Amino acid sequence: MGGAVKNRLKVLRAERSWSQQDLADRLEVSRQSVNAIETGRYDPSLPLAFRIADVFEMAIEEIFQRD
């Protein structure tokens, strides 16, 4: 069970022409955290996943998928 969680963060961010820092500022996290989530080195906590969904005005499952 388990395994990696894939996400569309990089694509969604690019569609809005946001830098990693822009997204980090909106989420109140470090740019390094955004980079780690985008590259799959780090899965966000549930509260952070909800913040990400809110920032993009999407459902969590539209952004994160089980691998």
Q: Where are the domains of the chain?
A: 5-60
pTM, two decimals, is 0.88
- Per-residue tokens: 33: 């955290």
Give the residue from 34, 30, 32 showing the smallest Cα distance to 56.
34
DSSP states along 28-65: TS-HHHHHHHHTTS-PPPHHHHHHHHHHHTS-HHHHEE
One digit per residue, the tens of pLDDT, for the chain of length 67 reads 456 789 999 999 999 999 999 999 999 999 999 999 999 999 999 999 999 999 999 999 999 998 7
* CATH class as words, domain 5-60: mainly alpha
